[in-house]
Structure 1
Amino acid sequence: IQPNTKILYAESPTNPAVDILDLERLGQIAQKNNLILIIDNCFATPYLQNPIKFGAHLVIHSATKLIDGQGRVLGGVTVGKAKLIKEIYLFSRNTGPALSPFNAWVLSKSLETLAVRVEKHCENALKVAEFLETHEQVLKVKYPFLKSHPQYAVAIKQMKLGGNIVAFELKGGLEKGRHFLDSLKMLSL
């Protein structure tokens, strides 16, 4: 933090490593240094994690991912302190980045099933993580609600469930990783 620092911006869980940052600690740092704390909460969604509870001033979400759930809408959501939202609103209103009425309706309908979808995603991700943790070809697995995750204690303190993303590393390095990706039949990169 430098004398001219105004904002502390962080993402938790992080993409793609699924690291968990201690939001309460970040809130304390922001408060102590009179900083605006902005948290990118895309992987957690408002259903799994509430950064404002830990001192965030603004929270951003990609509405395209879990909030929509089907990739039909390109959009985002910013929530937070009224004064900051007013400044963002005025900028947005004057520069044009707004959802169409139809996309807003799609998102409002998607929110009706957010909890059910996210809970199932989390349940499935935990099963995949537990399977990978016992697989002989897997070197390391990172999933926030696995006890082996380096920030497990932080994750269970600030998240309702572990999320829908699992990170893992294969034994054999880059060569084995490429072979694994080339062998996938359900998706391609």
Structure 2
Amino acid sequence: MNSKIPGPNTICTHIGEVEDQQFKGAISPLFMSSSYAYEDVEVKRYPRYFNTPNQEALCKKIAMLEKSEAALIFGSGMAAVSTAMLAFLHKGDHVVLPQTLYGGTYNFVVEEFHKFGIEYSFAEGFSEADFSEKIRDNTKVLFVETPSNPLMRITDLEMISKLAKQHDLVTMIDNTFASPVNQTPADFGIDIMIHSATKYMGGHSDICAGTVAASEEHIKKIWNLAKNLGGSLSDYTVWLLERSMKTMVLRVKAQNKNAKKMAKWLENHALVENVYYPGLKNHADYPLAKKQMSGYTGMLSFEINEALNVGKFLKALKLIKPSMSLAGVESTILSPAKTSHGLLSPEARKEQGISDGLLRFSVGIEETEDLIADLEGAFEAVSNKNLV
């Protein structure tokens, strides 16, 4: 292979493979050992140190996809988020985050940071002024999430990077909803990219994992804490994740296409009040999404008519699964008020614009005609009982 950086499909298929030197198999062999020799070896391997053969190989794939120097793999997305933040935040430090934050991250911040003496502020909007006014003398990190969960708001990454550099801050992004297929934040100067690899990287609803990609310097700092917290991933799951990522670009592009079709159909439905998808031209952040994303993701949210019973609507679905998590090849749907943002108070959900009628729709790779038929059937089932 020449010095040219390979394309994303090639990276997903070939970079970060473990060579099968014994049998010359076409895929990476799996090394399950939890105990390795320490004498007369170049690397003293230990699973909790994130340096087993399968761990090291997959980190190369993730780093190249995110256009960074290095990466680490964790046992969950929240293990990646918490370890990355705590590596750069200490007693007396301050972090600025968006108010429209994934519920798990929000709960981690408000429930745990006071125990460490870490201060935090939530930006109330998405403009430079919204973030800038929250920065203090002791601020160390700017953390963003774009597209946001579940309302799909877009944050200007170039603006965040420039603002952080003005104040000598470290920038972190939860890039889960976009995936590296649709967005590479390093192109805009973001320092640290975080994913719940449970989602688009895994893509089959059978893996729980997280990743962090950054410079060698930043990864070393995160690793120094990670080895003590013990959030490493089993090698079997690492192997499954590497297997799954080979088809990530194909899957995500198919989901992008389907999601845009579903968003257009939903916005024209009489029983849908609002649709939140950055690929729609009437979305508040469409110009920005078009500028910094190569695809608009397979995620969208919509609000159904307030006269409809959300629980009955979900139960009426036959194909789309009412299910936790997202980004699998199968379409899933959930009520953020009861699941992803259930840990937030009703007041906090209201501040974020999350109504009881909001549904988050993770569009899979099925034929859109079948998805439309399933949604229409659910609308008919509940509208006959709720609307006169």
For the aligned pair, the TM-score class normalised by the smaller chain equals over 0.9
Moved more, 108-117 or 131-140: 131-140
Among 129, 142, 147, the alignment partner of 1:13 is: 147
Question: Partner letter of residue 14 of structure 1?
Answer: S
Q: In structure 1, what residue type is equivalent to 2:313?
A: F
Per the alignment, residue 316 of structure 2 pairs with: 183
1:182 CA displacement: 4.3
Q: Is the 8 A contact 1:17 1:142 kept in 2?
A: yes
2:226 matched residue in structure 1:
92
CA positional deviation for 1:135: 1.1
Match of 1:147 in 2: 281
Match of 1:123 in 2: 257
Partner of 1:116, secondary structure, is: helix
**Counterpart secondary structure, 1:167:** strand
Structure 1 residue 19 displacement after superposition: 0.8
Give RMSD over aligned pairs. 1.4
Structure 2 CA distance for partners of 1:177 and 1:164, relative to 1, 3 Å: farther
1:75 aligns with 2:222: no
Answer yes or no: is 1:54 the counterpart of 2:181.
Answer: no
Which 4+ residue blocks in structure 1 deviate beyond 6 angstroms?
Answer: none
Does structure 1 retain, via aligned residues, the 8 Å contact 2:172–2:192?
yes
User: What is the letter of the counterpart of residue 48 of structure 1?
Assistant: N
- 1:81 is displaced (CA, Å) by 2.0
**1:89, CA displacement in angstroms?**
1.2
What is the CA–CA distance in structure 2 between the aligned matches of 1:180 and 1:28, rounded to whole Å? Answer: 45
Q: Work out the CA distance in 2 between the residues paired with 1:99 and 1:72.
A: 14
Counterpart CA distance in 2 for 1:89 and 1:177 is 47
2:303 paired residue among 152, 155, 169: 169
**Structure 1 residue corresponding to 2:267, chosen from 133, 149, 153:** 133
Which residue in 2 is equivalent to 1:63? 197
Measured after TM superposition, the shift of residue 75 of structure 1 is: 0.9
In the TM superposition, residue 100 of structure 1 has moved relative to its aligned partner by 1.2
Offset of residue 43 of structure 1: 0.5
Q: 1:39, 1:58 within 8 Å by CA — same for their partners in 2?
A: yes
Report the CA distance between 1:104 and its aligned residue.
1.0
Identity %: 39
Asked if the contact 1:58/1:79 (under 8 Å) is kept, the reply is yes
Deviations 1:10-48 (A, max 9, x none): 100011111111111111111111111100001111111
Find the aligned partners of 1:185 and 1:43 in 2 and give their Cα distance: 25
Unpaired runs of 5+ in structure 2? Answer: 1-134, 323-333, 335-388
1: distance between equivalents of 2:302 and 2:146?
A: 17
Give the alignment partner of residue 40 of structure 1, picking from 151, 158, 174: 174
Contact 2:148–2:177 (Cα < 8 Å) also in 1: yes
Cα distance in structure 1, aligned partners of 2:309 and 2:288: 29
**What are the superposed Cα offsets for residues 61-103 of structure 1, whole Å, 9 maximum, x if unpaired?**
0111110111222110000122111011122123321111111
* Number of residue pairs the alignment of both structures matches: 187
TM-score (norm 1): 0.93
d(CA) in 2 for partners of 1:99, 1:170? 39
- Greater fraction helix: 1
SS in 1 for 2:153: coil
Q: Name 2:293's counterpart in structure 1.
A: 159
Consecutive unaligned residues of structure 1, counting only runs of 5 or more, are none
Q: Per-residue displacement from partner, 1:123-165 (whole Å, max 9, x unpaired)?
A: 1101100101111112221111110110001101111111011
Report the secondary structure of 2:296's partner residue: coil
